[in-house]
Amino acid sequence: MTTVLLAHGSPDPRHSATLERLRARVAGPLADEGRGETHLVYIENDHPRPEELGPRITDDLTVVPMLITPAFHARVDVPAAVRALGAGGGRARVTSALGGHPLLLTAVEESLRAAGHDEGSHVLLVAGGSSSGQAGQSLRTLLDAHPRPGWMTMTLAAPRAGATRDRVVVPATLAEGVLHDKVAALAAAGGSPFVPGGLADTPALARLVLHRVLG
């Protein structure tokens, strides 16, 4: 059994470095559970790609889409990548993406503490978003199900005037990169505190990946 963490990829090298740290943190516990090797592959920008790794995997595999919100990548790119990963003949099981689980909010809380902010801070959680509006809706649904008083969400695709006022701005991103830096610029423009870094560096995110694989 092989585990594959399927990420989108970024032209920013900070992104792959962060995800590699996450892969290293979960690889040991997964191996201890008989899950074999854990690989990290990218849909674009970075390597290896699914078509490069797939022919080398001959056993069954579990694929974890490293996505926080549903988007074009989840609907189109992930199925194509899974087909490529199965080129070696193994059967692929695809887990749910990372979004929609309360451990994602725990990861945000850990990031807040690491940056010196109180968990009771008023938070603006910002995702990239798309024209479909699914990204924003998925974060709102998560907060509705697991309320954090004083927290609200927004996407860069549908910004709201004054949303950053009197709030700590947190990027809903796994790692530093293009999207992360756009959220940082948004916070700076509003004179709001910003929590740098990616959620993939938090213990809660590693626990979430293990939960997706092991159940």
Top-level class of domain 102-198: alpha beta
CA angle 115/17/67 to nearest 5° reads 80
pLDDT band at 128 (very low <50, low <70, confident <90, very high): confident
The predicted-structure confidence for 49-84, as pLDDT tens digits, reads as follows: 999 999 999 999 999 999 987 665 666 789 999 999
Amino acid at 61: L
Amino acid at 115: A
Q: Please compute the mean of the pLDDT values over residues 161-190 and round it to a whole number.
A: 96
Q: Which residue has the higher pLDDT, 40 or 77?
A: 40
Q: What are the domain boundaries of the chain? A: 2-98+201-214, 102-198
Distance CA 190, CA 186 (A): 6
pLDDT band at 131 (very low <50, low <70, confident <90, very high): low
Same fold, 2-98+201-214 and 102-198: yes
Predicted confidence at residue 134, as pLDDT, reads: 78
φ, ψ of residue 6 to 5 degrees: the values are -100, 105
Predicted confidence at residue 157, as pLDDT, reads: 87
Question: Mean pLDDT score of the chain, rounded to an integer?
Answer: 93
Distance CA 129, CA 150 (A): 21
Q: In what order do the strands lie in the sheet with 123-127?
A: 151-155, 123-127, 168-171
The predicted-structure confidence for 1-37, as pLDDT tens digits, reads as follows: 999 999 999 999 999 999 999 999 999 999 999 999 9
End-to-end CA distance of the chain: 15
What CATH code would you report for 2-98+201-214? 3.40.50.1400
Whether pTM exceeds 0.75: yes
Residues 92 and 82 sit within 8 Å (Cβ to Cβ): yes
Predicted confidence at residue 120, as pLDDT, reads: 86
